[in-house]
Amino acid sequence: MSPISRPSQRPVAPDAPFRHLIATYTHKMRAVVCTCGFNGSSVSADGKPSEWDRHIRENRVQAV
């Protein structure tokens, strides 16, 4: 029986911009931690954007 290996990760291009991605997610609390260190919630109240949605919008890199 062979050991289970992790899938290989693609190398990041040196000129690629930093991407804000979910590093950890706690399901019951719906807590999100971004790769940049941002801590917030993925729950939205009354149809308003969640903390996570606002974080992504504020840090979106505009294409040139």
pLDDT at 43: 92
Beta-bridge partners for 32: 25, 40
For the question of whether the overall pTM of this predicted structure is more than 0.95, the answer is no
Question: What distance lies between CA 23 and its chain's CA centroid?
Answer: 6
Tokens of 5: 């290996």
**Long-range contacts, stretch 56-59, CB < 8 angstroms, 24+ apart:** 56/20, 59/20
pLDDT of residue 45: 79
Instruction: Name the 3-class secondary structure at 39.
Output: strand
Compute the distance between CA of residue 24 and CA of residue 31 in angstroms, rounded to an integer. Answer: 8
